[in-house]
């Protein structure tokens, strides 16, 4: 427990002044509970057991007022302690979530290809929620329980000094150290079960994420029953894991209560045998209760801290992931980017699987270069190396003679516009989705870009025009409409380098012709990498690179490639039927 507690206290360090205040007022509440109630019980029951009516009314009122004053003190101090500990704990969780989210923004694309979305969501939500519980809900016990115990033990010591026979009642406290043994054993098991529970929850979250993201496919292939069975199976595993956590969590309390009851029963027998006065015995009995009760609460706290600690480990696993793509110490200004791209002996692999091998080519500034080849030949990876979504394993990618690793990532990507085959829109207005191309752009510049992408007409037909919310991933728009908004972003960015991943594939023939016309204007003086899946889209390309098994096996214009490159000819003929 002390190890787990040290971890959480370290997290609370930035808010130590608030935590310190919470511990002080919580300590007052604990002392008032452990000592104050014990003294009050002795005074009150001494008056009751005395049975005489000789006391003055004012004395009776003073003795009777002990309990309201005690509970006002305990209530106010408990509230202040709980409030400030929650403030500090929630601040830690807020900071930790922000740190985790910020770290995710800096991790390379390859990290997300290896990790499951649901698992990352679970760590950012469920694991931080478990930590929040450990920091806030158990915080009050951390502040109050130890001093409640100390106050009770102090009162026992005082009564033992004042009354013969009370010393024998102390024998019942000898059972307290016994509590440590089951608490330590159960919290150890609880840690393993809590980690397993969070992992099962990650699997459930991942299944849910996949199902919602593939809602159309699930219905198209009648997969509802299959998905229900898979999800129910995952829920069953989660349920079994949760019940193991419940078993070990709530085993702690009965164990402590049984040991406590034996101690209290022993105190009753010893007190009766030694003839301890009634009011003193009641005070002793209360003090014993308040010495065992905090131990019970602290044992529960130990379990919650262990669960929170395991969740923290899962969060720190992500934060510890290395930032593989770093900015250089001394960078090249992006103002120098004009558009010439050169690959010099580039090799790249995903893990152990080679994707590009010894690629050498230069793409002239202002040219349109089409990338063709079979699926998996390396076309998309080739284009992704330009904005440094990945770093090469060998060789180098150069823009205007500068290695891309010498540019700051933010500045490099400001001079590159990308239109993917499946554009992603955020759940925001059409205006803001286009403005992503250049965040500082005015509304008028955004609308002008939409006109150039032939999106202005359909946008004006929307219920709220440019202020229309597009839904998650643009669900409220058609594929062609989403594509034109994505193309409008590229117009707005007006970058020196354009990467087009079959940018017109989702458009009808009429819209495609308009976009092709717009692109012809847009690409003047710019370098375009066009990942081509349809040969009809490369008719304006100055040059075509043919990829096969991670290598560029030929390059040139369409006519000469059709004559001399067997692979190019075969791919072209297949599409022409």
341 phi and psi angles, rounded to 5 deg = -120, 135
**Contact (Cβ atoms closer than 8 angstroms) between residue 127 and residue 201:** no
**Two tokens at 130?**
């478990």
Q: Is the CATH number 1.20.1560.10 carried by domain 2-319?
A: yes
Q: Angle at Cα 116 formed by Cα 114 and Cα 121, nearest 5°?
A: 135
- Would you write out the chain's pLDDT as a tens digit for each of its 577 residues? 566 667 777 888 888 888 888 888 887 887 777 666 666 666 655 555 555 555 556 666 676 677 777 788 888 888 888 888 888 888 888 888 888 898 888 888 888 888 888 888 888 888 888 888 777 766 666 667 676 766 666 666 666 555 555 555 555 555 566 666 666 677 767 777 878 888 888 888 888 877 877 777 777 778 788 888 888 888 888 888 888 887 777 776 676 667 666 766 666 666 666 665 655 666 666 666 666 666 666 666 777 777 788 888 888 888 888 888 888 888 887 777 788 999 999 999 987 788 999 999 999 998 899 999 988 889 999 999 999 999 999 999 999 989 999 998 888 998 999 888 788 888 899 999 999 998 999 999 999 999 888 888 889 988 899 999 988 878 888 877 888 888 899 889 988 899 988 766 556 666 667 667 667 777 777 899 989 877 777 877 889 999 999 999 999 988 889 899 999 899 888 877 6
DSSP 491-542: HHH--SEEEEESTTTTS-HHHHHHHHHHHHHHTTTSEEEEE-SSGGGGTT-S
Rounded Cα gap, residues 530 and 498, in angstroms: 8
Which CATH topology does 334-576 take?
Rossmann fold (3.40.50)
Q: What are phi and psi of 301, to 5 degrees?
A: -60, -40
Picking from 513, 458, 524, the residue whose alpha carbon sits closest to that of residue 485 is: 458
What does the alpha-carbon distance between residue 159 and residue 314 come to, in Å, rounded to a whole number?
A: 49
From the list 183, 357, 171, 339, the residue with the least C-alpha distance to 265 is: 171
Distance CA 377, CA 119 (A): 30
Global pTM reads 0.75
Domain boundaries of the chain, sorted by first residue: 2-319, 334-576
pLDDT of residue 447: 93
């Amino acid at each position: 427990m002390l190890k787990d507690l040290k971890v959480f206290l370290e997290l609370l360090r930035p808010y130590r002044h608030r935590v310190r205040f919470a511990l002080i007022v919580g300590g007052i509440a604990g002392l008032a509970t452990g000592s104050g109630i014990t003294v009050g019980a002795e005074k009150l029951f001494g008056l009751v057991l005395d049975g005489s009516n000789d006391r003055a009314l004012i004395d009776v009122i003073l003795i009777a007022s002990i309990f309201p004053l005690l509970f006002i003190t305990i209530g106010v101090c408990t509230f202040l302690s709980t409030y400030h500990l929650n403030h500090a704990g929630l601040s830690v969780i807020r900071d930790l979530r922000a740190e985790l989210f910020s770290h995710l923004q800096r991790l390379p694309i390859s990290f997300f290809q290896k990790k499951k979305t649901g698992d990352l969501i679970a760590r950012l939500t469920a694991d931080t929620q478990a930590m929040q519980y450990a920091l806030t809900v158990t915080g009050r016990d951390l502040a109050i329980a130890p001093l409640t115990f100390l106050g009770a033990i102090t009162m026992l010591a005082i009564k033992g000094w004042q009354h013969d026979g009370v010393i024998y009642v102390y024998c019942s406290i000898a059972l307290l150290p016994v509590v440590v043994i089951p608490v330590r054993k159960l919290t150890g098991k609880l840690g393993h079960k809590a980690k397993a529970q969070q992992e099962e929850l990650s699997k459930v979250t991942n299944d849910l994420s996949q199902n919602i993201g593939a809602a159309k496919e699930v219905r198209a292939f009648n997969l509802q029953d299959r998905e229900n069975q898979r999800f129910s199976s995952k829920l069953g595993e989660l349920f079994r894991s949760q019940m193991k956590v419940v078993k070990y969590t709530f085993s702690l309390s009965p164990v402590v209560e049984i040991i406590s009851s034996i101690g209290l029963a022993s105190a009753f027998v010893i007190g009766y045998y030694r003839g301890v006065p009634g009011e003193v015995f009641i005070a002793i009995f209360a003090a014993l209760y308040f010495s065992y009760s905090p131990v019970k609460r602290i044992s529960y706290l130990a379990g919650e801290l262990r669960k929170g600690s395991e969740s923290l480990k899962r969060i720190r696993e992500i934060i510890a992931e290395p930032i593989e793509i770093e900015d250089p110490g001394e960078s090249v200004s992006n103002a120098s980017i004009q558009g010439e791209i050169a690959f010099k002996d580039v090799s790249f692999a995903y893990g152990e699987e080679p994707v590009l091998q010894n690629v050498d080519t230069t793409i002239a500034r202002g040219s349109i270069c089409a990338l063709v080849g079979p699926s998996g030949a390396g076309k998309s990876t080739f284009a992704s190396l330009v904005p440094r979504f990945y770093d090469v394993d060998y060789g180098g990618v150069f823009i205007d003679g500068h290695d891309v690793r010498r540019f700051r990532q933010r500045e490099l990507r400001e001079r590159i516009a990308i239109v993917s085959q499946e554009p992603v829109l955020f759940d925001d207005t059409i205006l803001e989705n286009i403005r992503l191309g250049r965040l500082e752009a005015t509304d008028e510049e955004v609308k002008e870009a939409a006109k150039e992408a032939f999106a202005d007409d359909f946008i004006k037909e929307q219920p709220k025009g440019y202020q229309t919310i597009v839904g998650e991933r643009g669900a409220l728009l058609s594929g062609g409409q989403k594509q034109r908004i994505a193309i409008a972003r590229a117009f707005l960015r007006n970058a020196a380098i354009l990467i087009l991943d079959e940018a017109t594939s989702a458009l009808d023939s009429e819209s495609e012709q308009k976009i092709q016309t717009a692109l012809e204007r847009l690409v003047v003086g710019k370098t375009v990498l066009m990942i081509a899946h349809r040969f009809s889209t490369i008719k304006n390309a100055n040059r075509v690179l043919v990829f096969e098994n991670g290598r560029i096996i030929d390059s040139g214009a369409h006519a000469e490639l059709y004559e001399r490159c067997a692979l190019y000819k075969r791919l072209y003929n297949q599409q022409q039927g």
